[in-house]
Amino acid sequence: MPNLPRHALLDDAGLNRQHVFNLADLPADLLAPLDLRPGETQLLLFGHAGRRLWDCVQAQQADGRLGAEHPIDEHSQRTVERWLREALPGTRARFVYPVGLPPGQHVGLQRLGSLAGWHHASPFMVGIDARWGSWFAYRAAVVTDSGLPPSPAVDLGHPCPSCTHRRCIEACPGRALDSGRMEIEACQRQRLTEGSPCASGCVARLACPVGAEHRYDISQLRHSGRGSLEAIRRHREKPGRV
pLDDT digits (tens, 9 = 90+) for 179-200: 888 999 999 999 999 999 998 8
Q: What pTM was estimated for this model as a whole?
A: 0.94
DSSP 65: S
pLDDT recorded at residue 240 = 57
Amino acid at 80: V
Q: What are phi and psi of 20, to 5 degrees?
A: -110, 120
SS3 141: strand
pLDDT at 2: 58
The pLDDT, as a whole number, for residue 69 is 86
Q: Average pLDDT for residues 108-125, to the nearest whole number?
A: 97
pLDDT at 52 over 60: yes
- In angstroms, rounded to a whole number, what is the distance separating the alpha carbons of residues 213 and 210? 8
- Mean per-residue pLDDT of the chain: 94
Which DSSP category does 217 fall into?
P
Percent of the chain with pLDDT over 70: 98
136-144 and 42-49 beta bridge pairing: antiparallel
At residue 77, does pLDDT exceed 90? yes
Q: Both ends of the chain: CA-CA distance in Å?
A: 45
Examine residue 161 and say whether the peptide bond preceding it is cis (omega within 30 degrees of 0): no
Q: Sheet containing 42-49: which strands, arranged edge to edge?
A: 17-22, 42-49, 136-144, 93-97
159/78 Cα distance (integer angstroms) = 34
Half-sphere exposure of 237 (CA within 13 A, CB side): 7
* Better-scored residue on pLDDT, 172 or 238: 172
1 pLDDT above the threshold of 70: no
Nearest to 207 by CA among 133, 157, 155: 133
141: left (phi over 0), alpha (psi -120 to 50) or beta: beta
Residue 113: partners with Cβ closer than 8 Å, 6 or more residues away: 45, 47, 119, 127, 138
